[in-house]
Structure 1
Amino acid sequence: MKIFLIAGARPNFMKIAPIARALDSHNPLTYKIVHTGQHYDQNMSDIFFQELGIRQPDYHLGAGGGTHAQQTARIMTGFEDICTNERPDMVIVVGDVNSTLACSVVAKKMQIKVAHVEAGLRSFDLSMPEEINRMVTDAISDLFFVTEEQGMVNLIKEGKPESALHFVGHVMIDNLFYQLKKLEEMDPETLPYNDFKQAHSDYGVVTLHRPSNVDNRDVFEGIMGTLAKVSESLPLIFPIHPRTRKNMEVFGIEPADNVHLVEPLSYMAFLNLWKDAEVALTDSGGLQEETTALGIPCLTIRENTERPITITEGTNELVGTSREAILNAFGRIIAREWKQGQRPKFWDGRASERIVEILKGERVKI
């Protein structure tokens, strides 16, 4: 059985890496890694793949940027060529990026089975491009690997056959535990901004990149003003996304003195910071889950989340962009009145092993 593992950007490699490592120990299942090149990332060096414990991609499509349609079209045509030449038995896509959608559609039209890892997540907000990618991918997938129980509920409501649904846990958490072990073996002094960590016994981390937060001047100024207020009590370190930095310059927004802007960080460098933070303030999806796995308070600067278990069981809370809501929640964290949370079911570092066991069963059918 020949499998293609699809990744379009650095976070996707965090998700396919545990699957690749699990597949390496199962000879009947061969795989190739396809990097669509959806995002160029200078941090994706040889060391990056060594840290993940996987080989370099077998294919690089070099899709690059552009509009959603332009990017998706380039991925589709490039991926169709290699599928024509290789004829894999199954294509495994992860998450909700344009590469996920593009490669799923190509594979399905070529009668190649599609497996979606992180299936069933829903924000029910069609203004989010990721939500459209999730819905379309799940509409045509053959196998669904689900991270949390609400994903199972969503897929059953959408009419997916229960025999195709597999609640396996979260490969991103598999990778988190793997990288934590790697981090223990490293000298933290070699990591960027470890000096910031050493200089501050308590601090918070910030990530902010969603268009709804950083493309609107009033919203962005409001968030930065709230972060300035937070930083009066707790220094913040903010690895800034290129989109966010550009808009900060366009809008003439200056960060407060205690909001420390730094360049985008590698996974290990950022993990070294956030794993010991007092709080994460974010609008990303993955950090909501990773902070829940390690029991770190997380304030999600969004009106909705496709990862509800981080709220119902974990340490995350939706605060929107409201200054009052953010500061109220932050006050409870500082006062040590925050919920303890718990690690969700199957977030135990073995999701990829469960996936591979299911794939071995599928091999018999193909």
Structure 2
Amino acid sequence: MKTIYLVAGARPNFMKIAPIVRALRGHARLAYKIIHTGQHYDRDMNEVFFEELGIPAPDLFMAAGGGSHAEQTAKIMLAFEQLCVAERPDAVLVVGDVNSTLACSIVAKKLNIPVAHVEAGLRSGDMTMPEEINRLVTDSISDWFFVTEPSAVGHLRREGKPEAAIHYVGHVMVDNVLYQAEQLAAGDRSRYEGSAYKAAHPRYGVVTLHRPSNVDDAAMMGRIGAALTEIAAELPLIFPVHPRTRANLERFGIALGPNVTLVGPQGYMAFLNLWKDAVMVLTDSGGLQEETTALGVPCITIRDNTERPVTVDEGSNVLAGTDPATIVAEARKVLAGQGKQGRRPHLWDGQAAQRIVAVLDRQLAAAGATT
């Protein structure tokens, strides 16, 4: 039996490993352990959260989060090295582009443990984003690349990665959102905070903002806020506010007006219940660009670049930039019924995790035979 460490450091990471856990459950040749680095400590990650995802709680919580990027990465590396030396897994699987992804990849590679990167090859071209650094470094040392879209395959080829190591499998985030949407449809939605808002507002939009380039600069936040206020005059907006974003709105003295309802951060199912029925989503989130494409919800991305271009090329996402006039114009297109419809990209069919597990099974069996 081969053991794979599934590494997660923050709440969104668990959404990505959940389909892989479900695909591995009961496998004849592969076992797994869920490793929570503790990069982000979330009080809401209780039993109900993992029950919603259909996975068990982490096998190990390392409590290695906090501090600057360097401090956090160093603490995760130290704790993960101790674990790998003591137990020596047969492979380490990392997801996405957080500091835990980078830290655990480096540790595993230096211990000659194969590294699998899920969501490999995504590039924004923006080296001011910490996530871009994490993507580049992780992909420079990974052994197996699990890819979500054609642009990522192209990036990895240009960077000289072996063709046999690149696996275009689809997207585990899409696996998860399709699974969760089914669970949501079969459950009691009235218990979620957003349900009362939905009942009072048959047509509404959803906002999320958290990128430092958008929310940490007073002038930029003011311009985006003005665009939201103008859109809200025609369509009420509900805004689950990231704590840093809320603090900056207060610090900069930015008021969004009575048609923008500010609420606290939402759990996964509560937030899905909110945005899946929205007229549009306005966001700077990478993951939400993909999830809205998966469910066909019009998405207006308030960024100048995206590492997920398939959502623009094929999906329901529009890259609006940060100019208020453009943001408002794109929103009005949606309101006029002229918004981008798009389609679900190739292999975004809910089966990505099964493809990943099949590749890992083959690769680890081959490595065992060689050994």
TMscore range, shorter length: over 0.9
* Match status 1:158 vs 2:159: yes
1:193 deviates by 2.1
Q: CA deviation at 1:33?
A: 0.4
Any residues of structure 2 matched to 1:123-134 within 5 Å, and which?
123-134=124-135
Task: Tell me the SS of whatever aligns to 2:64.
Answer: coil
Aligned to 1:23: 24
SS in 2 for 1:306: coil
Indicate the residue corresponding to 1:245 in structure 2: 246
Name the CA distance, whole Å, in 2 between partners of 1:252 and 1:42: 29
Q: Which residue of 1 aligns with 2:345?
A: 344
Gaps of 5+ in 1: none
TM-score under structure 2 length normalisation: 0.98
Counterpart CA distance in 2 for 1:154 and 1:25 is 35
Greater CA drift, 262-271 or 241-250: 241-250
CA distance in 2, matches of 1:348, 1:265: 26
Map of 1:96 onto structure 2: 97
Q: Which amino acid aligns with 1:71?
A: Q
| Inter-partner Cα distance in structure 2 for 1:25 and 1:354 | 16
Q: Percent identity?
A: 60
* 1:219-258 deviation digits (Å, cap 9, x = unpaired): 0011111100000000101000011011112112222111
The alignment status of 1:217 with 2:234, answered yes or no, reads: no
Residue 12 (str. 1) matches residue 24 (str. 2): no
Structure 2 CA distance, aligned partners of 1:277 and 1:42? 28
SS in 1 for 2:292: helix
**Conserved? CA contact 2:33–2:59, under 8 Å:** yes
Q: 1: distance between equivalents of 2:82 and 2:193? A: 40
Cross-structure match for 1:142 = 143
Is 1:365 the counterpart of 2:349? The answer is no
Q: Secondary structure at the match of 2:161?
A: coil
Q: CA RMSD in A?
A: 0.7
**Poorly superposed stretches of 4+, deviation over 6 Å:** none
SS, match of residue 341 in structure 2: coil
Alignment-derived partner of residue 82 in structure 1:
83
Q: CA deviation at 1:355?
A: 0.5
Deviation (angstroms), 1:69 = 0.3
The alignment status of 1:174 with 2:180, answered yes or no, reads no
Q: Secondary structure at 2:281's aligned position in 1?
A: strand
Q: State the alpha-carbon separation in 1 of the partners of residues 365 and 340 from structure 2.
A: 46
| TM-score, length of structure 1 as denominator length | 0.99
1:65 Cα deviation from its structure 2 partner:
1.8
Match runs of 1:306-321 below 5 Å: 306-321=307-322
Tell me what 2:55 maps to. 54
CA apart distance, 1:167? 0.1
Q: Which amino acid aligns with 1:50?
A: E
Are residue 322 (structure 1) and residue 290 (structure 2) matched? no
Q: Could you tell me how far 1:43 is from its partner in structure 2?
A: 1.8
User: In the aligned structure 1, how far is the partner of 2:11 from the partner of 2:313?
Assistant: 28
Q: Secondary structure of the equivalent of 1:34? A: strand
Structure 2, unpaired ranges of 5+ = none
